[in-house]
């Protein structure tokens, strides 16, 4: 039981760090002029307060232009919640059912094809890589996205790792993960780097998510970025 008590704060800290990372990525890309976002597997609207959702972050960062945001989710409860709380109050946000595990079908989705302008840059935030257990398919997903998006677009990825988990806590962490996210793919830094080979990464490259362009407003993992348990990277699509 003590092992679970020690492991639980780690997972809570990681969740906060991930949400803060997502906000910084959206803020940075919107600041770079991107006003179209496809956010896959964010769990919207959980974890972020009203007025502080990722589409709100993009809008605030852009200042003038209003972003178009498509959330892609596979969980029926998340879909229902997002459609009930977000779509009714914004004409510039859509929530579609889809899964990164069916990337061809996702990219052909009618809403994605008609709601977004595929002649202008966009950002794809791929957050559900935990479901991609097959490295070959993972690379295919990256390839398909690179082929589909317009020039000067961006691809953001995040990957869970156990690289920094103390050995004595690994059994408890594995058990918690099996209960909350069965089939969750875990990768080392070396494995993630291999998957990202060939991509042009935006500085600072592949890092612990709290180390990706911290802006002074975050509260999680400032002292121990590795406690986030996730690597993050943003790639520019030439």
Q: Which residue has the higher pLDDT, 38 or 221?
A: 38
What tens digit of pLDDT does each residue of 54-104 get? 988 999 999 877 899 999 998 888 888 878 877 777 788 999 999 999 999
Q: Which residue has the higher pLDDT, 7 or 139?
A: 139
Of the listed ranges 36-45, 99-108, 218-227, the least confidently predicted one is 218-227
DSSP states of 33-79: T--EEEEES--TTTTS-TT-SHHHHHHHHHSSSPPEEEEEE--HHHH
What tens digit of pLDDT does each residue of 44-63 get? 756 566 678 898 899 999 98
Contact in structure between 24 and 66 (CB atoms under 8 Å): no
Res. 166 pLDDT band, cuts 50 70 90: confident
Answer whether residue 141 shows pLDDT above 80. yes
Q: Which two tokens stand for residue 183?
A: 């089939």
Half-sphere exposure of 114 (CA within 13 A, CB side): 5
SS3 19: helix
Residue that the structure tokens 């989710």 belong to: 73
Q: What pLDDT does 4 receive? A: 34
Q: Which residue has the higher pLDDT, 210 or 130?
A: 210
Q: Which residue has the higher pLDDT, 177 or 113?
A: 113
The structural domains of the chain, ordered by start, are: 2-237 (3.40.50.150)
d(CA 55, CA 87): 11
Burial of 166 (0-12, 13-18, 19+ CB in 10 A): exposed
Answer whether residue 5 shows pLDDT above 90. no
């Amino acid at each position: 039981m003590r092992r679970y008590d020690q492991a639980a704060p780690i997972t809570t800290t990681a969740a906060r760090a991930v949400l803060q990372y997502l906000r910084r990525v959206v803020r940075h890309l919107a600041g770079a002029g991107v006003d179209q976002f496809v956010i896959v597997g964010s769990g919207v609207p959980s974890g972020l307060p009203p007025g502080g959702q990722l589409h709100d972050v993009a809008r605030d960062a852009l200042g003038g232009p209003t972003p178009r945001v498509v959330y892609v989710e596979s969980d029926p409860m998340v879909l229902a919640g997002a459609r009930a709380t977000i779509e009714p109050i914004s004409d510039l946000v859509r929530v579609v059912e889809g899964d990164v595990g069916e990337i061809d079908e996702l990219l052909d989705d009618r809403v994605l094809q008609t709601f977004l302008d595929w002649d202008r840059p966009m950002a794809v935030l791929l957050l559900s890589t935990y479901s991609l257990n097959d490295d070959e398919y993972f690379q295919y997903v990256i390839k398909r996205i690179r082929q589909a998006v317009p020039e000067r677009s961006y691809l953001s990825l995040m990957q869970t790792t156990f690289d920094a988990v103390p050995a004595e806590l690994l059994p408890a962490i594995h058990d918690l993960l099996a209960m909350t996210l069965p089939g969750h793919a875990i990768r080392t830094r070396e494995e993630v780097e291999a998957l990202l080979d060939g991509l042009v990464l935006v500085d600072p490259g592949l890092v612990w998510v709290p180390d990706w362009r911290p802006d002074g407003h975050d509260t999680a993992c400032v002292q121990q970025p590795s406690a986030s348990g996730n690597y993050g990277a943003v790639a520019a699509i030439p």
